[in-house]
Structure 1
Amino acid sequence: MRNRTTALVVAAGVALLAPAWYSAAAQQSLSEPDAKSPRGAPGSAGSAAAPAREGTAREGTVGAADLLAATRKCKQISHGKYRTDDGARADVPVCATRGAVFWKADMDIDCDGRRSKACNRRTDPLFQPTTAFQQSDGRQLNAARLPYVVVPGASHRWKHAKHGITGGTVAAVVHRGRVQYAVVGDTGPTDLIGEASYATARALGIRPDPRTGGTGEDVTYVLFKGSKAQPIESHGAAVARGDALAREFVRRN
């Protein structure tokens, strides 16, 4: 989980110390895929994403408006609320409805896991080489290529596993009329919420730079209870499973 306040302070310091490589790295992070992997399908880090236009793009057959309508009412299941950033007010509950849990927050950028041209210690001063969940071959997840979301670490406030949410759980992420399917790929601090991988942000038209990117605008995260994309690293599996679950979720709610 990114601490946005800390990240921006670090970014500012780095920019003052080394503006030349900072600019080059930021540009590179927006335009180049993982050097060890082929370019991905739309939604992965194969090429720079254009800014989102409301209502113009989605994965699958379920529209953003339908998903948002199904999450209008919040039955809070978290014992307390979360902050979106360090120092912010705790005002984000985790909600439940038939077949899913959801929350509405901002989006910070997770660039942890396998090193790539977009995600490494040079492009992200807070980079960690591990994720809470791993690929089927044991390797760390690739934030630059795989759309995934981050859930808060288990605590008295909320234990995600008790609600059928674990590594590989399928999620639908909604922002400005776009729907992006993802998996649960990492965990963050126990008191913060609102984070997704570089690839998720990029596909939604959100600036994915781990230091200066993300958005403070509303992002809705819908996680389908008991679901699983198999293998976790297959975005195609997440889309196929997510689309079917989203149709059922909208129909039931």
Structure 2
Amino acid sequence: MFRTGSAAVTVAAILLGACVQDGAIAPEPAPQAAADAVPEPASASAAEPAAAMDAPAQPAAPATAADPEPASCALNGSFDHVTRNDGTRRVIFGEDGLMFRSDYAVNTDGAPTSYHPDDPWGSSGLAINTVCNGVDIAAPEEVDYSQCKKLIDYFAQARDAGWTGADSPIVNFYGIATKSDTGEGRHQPCINDDPAYKGYFVSTTSQLADPSRGRCDQGRYLNSLDLPFIIRPRGANFSGNGVDVGDLALVMDPASGRQTFAIVGDIGPSWGLGEGSVYVSRALTGKATNPKTRKEVYGYGARNVLTLVFTGAPMKPPYTPERIEAAGKAALERFGGQDRFNACAAELD
């Protein structure tokens, strides 16, 4: 589970060099002799000769322990990752981890409220995202998110024709489950029949929450509202350096100290970097409730976030916030704890 406020300051305090001493009571100073105090008369023993030079020597004071060596990051590889909206970001990596600093966008995929056929813009209070982030148009012409209005016009035509009409536009449902997946052509999207989310599209994720469930069952996929997961960009820079779905991660906003452990739960565009589920976004921003519209989702983004992925030991389902938290703590300990995390964070400053 995510932690906010004082419950999450451990990593942040170290990063920022904070020193917490609230409530400490300093010892009283030793009393000093008064300036006009009368000295005591010398005793008889004061006139005796000084002790012989061969008196037993006092034992030497024990040697002071040397300060421990500062932690080393030891993520010695690096590359520059070019993003669409966040400039070029440096990524460092090694045998047991990959780390970067970036702004964070909200990824709604897997949320049962992500996409709705009657709310393609995500503006009427049904969906929290626009279908432009879940579908492309393949025919009569290729249209993607960069031409969202035209895409939605074609989408509405296909919807009104029942999706598979011979003369209707062909929709590529890349973020929405379909009843069959037989390659190019017209496909029937899955509609959720759960009474709580009846009528919504079934939104998918690369990592599955429960592979035993059918492709049109929303419970087959990770739920962005209820689980902490992040998105890995496509491309050899990440997959070739050991980042895979199921890997554990630590995501932290150093400014506020808010942090959460997460898993890599989905794969996104190659130009992306720094995307998290709604759950992760709430953890980083301290938002108390889930967004209801696409416009509200924009307010859940975060700035200057640190992400450490623990590579090479993916977590297996079932996934719950509690299990991810426990597994993440163990992964951080194996990595070298907060000291090594902080050393790596300093290399990204």
TM-score (norm 1): 0.64
Question: Following the alignment from structure 1 to structure 2, what is the Cα–Cα distance between the partners of residues 100 and 149?
Answer: 15
Structure 2, unmatched stretches of 5+, are 18-70, 117-126, 135-174, 176-202, 213-219, 341-349
Count of residue correspondences: 192
Aligned match of 1:178: 258
Contact 1:109 1:213 in 2 (8 A): no
Structure 1, unmatched stretches of 5+, are 1-41, 44-48
The aligned amino acid for 2:81 is: K
**What is the CA RMSD across the aligned residues, in angstroms?**
3.1
1:190 pairs with 2:290: no
* Deviating 4+ runs (over 6 angstroms): 67-74
What is the aligned-residue identity percentage?
Answer: 23
Contact 1:229 1:237 in 2 (8 A): no
1:100-123 CA-to-partner distances (Å, cap 9, x unmatched) read 10110001000012414xx33422
Q: 1:231, CA displacement in angstroms?
A: 0.9
Contact 2:228 2:276 in 1 (8 A): yes
Question: Following the alignment from structure 1 to structure 2, what is the Cα–Cα distance between the partners of residues 67 and 133?
Answer: 32
Q: 1:232, CA displacement in angstroms?
A: 5.4
Tell me: CA distance 1:72–1:218, structure 2 relative to 1, closer, same or farther (3 Å). Answer: farther
Contact 1:75 1:96 in 2 (8 A): yes
Query: Counterparts of 1:189-228 in structure 2 under 5 Å?
Result: 189-205=269-285, 209=291, 211-228=297-314
Query: Counterparts of 1:1-253 in structure 2 under 5 Å?
Result: 42-43=1-2, 53=5, 56-58=6-8, 63-65=11-13, 75-78=76-79, 80-83=80-83, 85-86=84-85, 88-89=86-87, 91-97=88-94, 99-116=96-113, 119-121=114-116, 122-125=127-130, 126=133, 128=175, 129-138=203-212, 139-155=220-236, 158=237, 160-175=238-253, 176-205=256-285, 209=291, 211-231=297-317, 233-251=319-337, 253=340
Tell me: CA distance 1:65–1:221, structure 2 relative to 1, closer, same or farther (3 Å). Answer: farther
Contact 2:284 2:302 in 1 (8 A): no
Q: 1:204, CA displacement in angstroms?
A: 2.3
Question: Following the alignment from structure 2 to structure 1, what is the Cα–Cα distance between the partners of residues 206 and 310?
Answer: 19
TM-score (norm 2): 0.48
Tell me: CA distance 1:65–1:231, structure 2 relative to 1, closer, same or farther (3 Å). Answer: farther
Contact 1:66 1:250 in 2 (8 A): no
Q: 1:97, CA displacement in angstroms?
A: 4.2
SS at match of 2:7: coil
Q: 1:245, CA displacement in angstroms?
A: 1.6
> Could you say which structure has the greater relative contact order, defined with CA pairs below 8 angstroms and 6 or more residues apart?
1
The aligned amino acid for 1:149 is: I
Contact 2:247 2:264 in 1 (8 A): yes
Mean Cα displacement is larger for which, 189-198 or 92-101? Answer: 92-101
The aligned amino acid for 2:128 is: T
1:176-212 CA-to-partner distances (Å, cap 9, x unmatched) read 2122000000111112211100011112225564542
Q: 1:71, CA displacement in angstroms?
A: 9.0
Question: Following the alignment from structure 2 to structure 1, what is the Cα–Cα distance between the partners of residues 299 and 285?
Answer: 11
SS at match of 2:331: helix
Question: Following the alignment from structure 1 to structure 2, what is the Cα–Cα distance between the partners of residues 58 and 206?
Answer: 12
